């Protein structure tokens, strides 16, 4: 028997072994040259830590609050679509793992389990991710179902007026899975002989006229707080503050949308500075180690969200796999905090990291 995974990256190989190629490529792939996909992880590797010593780290507290909800560590579950392609229990297994780890899961608008199945599976704080379709009445129905079922916030994805060019999906003729949330509302059938069925579906249904006015519309249909996912610049961060949203997620869609967009960790600080503490900034993309979480916090994020590793854990070992992935990251973060002299998250400061922008000469270290 293969040895148990000892870190998050090892789950990726397990997932590759168990998943059909079409599904693995869908989850693992990025847009075009996959430059942004690679850069998301590699940019973390270029950031160095500046540990402080002789500090009492006998008790480490990783807990924090997001929109007032307490979580055990600043590691949340990012929205990822079609989880039943990874494991038969799909989003329900992920929801149970999130609850067991005492963290927040963001359920994808394009989940394979229904909002109701996820909400009844276990008691936990959950957010609902939203894409805006041309038929806004369908979006309104889903958001209102989420609100009725106890979801605590809406995460509006703003980087997908159209779908990025994911070449492996086109080659594999990726299927469009049935989405039970939309039964009786919209057909998942598409007339596309060539290429990715998902791409054809999105072209047909996503609203590519989406603009800042959509936030007003969203406010008119729900009382839930709204986070914007997909901000990468100070200009859009300022506009988000002006629009009065509850938070920002710095994200490039896991390198799946605009290739050669910057890695998220490289623009996090720019966004944090533009926001100036007026609302929480979270970040996703490329988080594979506890040190990555620490680096994001040092650069001003309130929490990170993890996407692909959750899918890999789910594919390899179901609910327990997702729990393992989150617990591994938590354990690594705890060790990083201890070895850096940070007993709580408040102790993690900008002085604990060096980026290549910092005016220090690495070669002298």
Q: Tell me the catalytic residues.
A: 253
Whether residue 309 contacts residue 11, with contact meaning beta carbons closer than 8 Å, is answered with yes
Does 80 count as an annotated binding residue? yes
Positive or negative CA dihedral for 153, 154, 159, 165? positive
Does 131 count as an annotated binding residue? yes
**Rounded distance between C-alpha atoms, residue 2 and residue 264, angstroms:** 34
Does 296 count as an annotated binding residue? no
Does 114 count as an annotated binding residue? no
Does 307 count as an annotated binding residue? yes
Does 229 count as an annotated binding residue? yes
The two beta strands, 353-354 and 303-306, are unpaired
Whether residue 255 contacts residue 34, with contact meaning beta carbons closer than 8 Å, is answered with yes
Cα→Cα distances 356→43, 44, 46, 265, 362, Å = 10, 11, 7, 12, 9
Does 129 count as an annotated binding residue? yes
Does 256 count as an annotated binding residue? yes
Does 309 count as an annotated binding residue? no
Does 284 count as an annotated binding residue? yes
Does 247 count as an annotated binding residue? no
CB contact burial 178-188 (16+ within 10 A = b; e otherwise): ebebbeeeeeb
Helices (H), the chain: 8-18, 21-28, 35-45, 90-100, 115-121, 136-148, 167-172, 197-205, 213-221, 234-243, 264-275, 290-298, 308-340
Does 302 count as an annotated binding residue? no
Whether residue 38 contacts residue 255, with contact meaning beta carbons closer than 8 Å, is answered with yes
Which segments are annotated as binding site for glyoxylate?
A: 26, 131, 166, 253, 256
Which segments are annotated as binding site?
A: 26, 79-81, 108, 129, 131, 157, 166, 229, 251, 253, 256, 284-288, 307-308
Which segments are annotated as binding site for FMN?
A: 79-81, 108, 129, 157, 229, 251, 284-288, 307-308
């Amino acid at each position: 028997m293969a040895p148990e995974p000892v870190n998050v990256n090892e789950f990726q190989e397990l997932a590759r072994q168990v998943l059909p190629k079409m599904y693995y490529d869908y989850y693992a792939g990025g847009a075009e040259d996959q430059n942004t996909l690679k850069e998301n992880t590699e940019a973390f590797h270029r950031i160095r830590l500046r540990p402080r010593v002789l500090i009492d780290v006998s008790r480490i507290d990783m807990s924090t609050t997001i929109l007032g909800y307490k979580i055990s560590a600043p590691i949340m579950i990012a929205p990822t679509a079609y989880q039943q392609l990874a494991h038969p229990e799909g989003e329900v297994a992920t929801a149970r793992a999130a609850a067991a780890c005492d963290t927040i899961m963001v359920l994808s608008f394009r989940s394979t389990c229904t909002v109701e199945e996820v909400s009844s599976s276990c008691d936990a704080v959950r957010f609902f991710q939203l894409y805006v379709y041309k038929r806004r009445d369908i979006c309104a129905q889903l958001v209102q179902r989420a609100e009725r079922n106890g979801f605590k916030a809406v995460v509006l994805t703003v980087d997908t007026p159209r779908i990025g060019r994911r070449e492996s999906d086109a080659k594999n003729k990726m299927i469009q899975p049935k989405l039970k949330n939309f039964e009786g509302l919209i057909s998942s059938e598409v007339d596309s002989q060539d290429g990715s069925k998902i791409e054809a579906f999105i072209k047909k249904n996503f609203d590519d006229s989406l603009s800042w006015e959509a936030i007003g519309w969203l406010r008119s249909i729900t009382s839930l707080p709204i986070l914007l996912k997909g901000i990468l610049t100070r200009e859009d961060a300022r506009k988000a503050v002006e629009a009065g949203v509850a938070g920002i997620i710095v994200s490039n869609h896991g390198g799946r949308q605009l290739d050669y967009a910057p890695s998220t960790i490289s623009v996090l600080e720019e966004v944090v500075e533009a926001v100036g503490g007026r609302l929480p900034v979270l970040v996703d993309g490329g988080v594979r180690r506890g040190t990555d979480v620490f680096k994001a916090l040092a650069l001003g994020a309130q929490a990170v969200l993890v996407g692909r590793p959750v899918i890999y854990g789910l594919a390899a070992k179901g609910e327990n796999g997702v729990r393992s992935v989150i617990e591994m990251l938590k354990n690594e973060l705890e060790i990083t905090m201890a070895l850096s002299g940070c007993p709580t998250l408040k102790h993690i400061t900008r002085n604990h990291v060096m980026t290549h922008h910092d005016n220090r000469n690495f070669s002298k270290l």
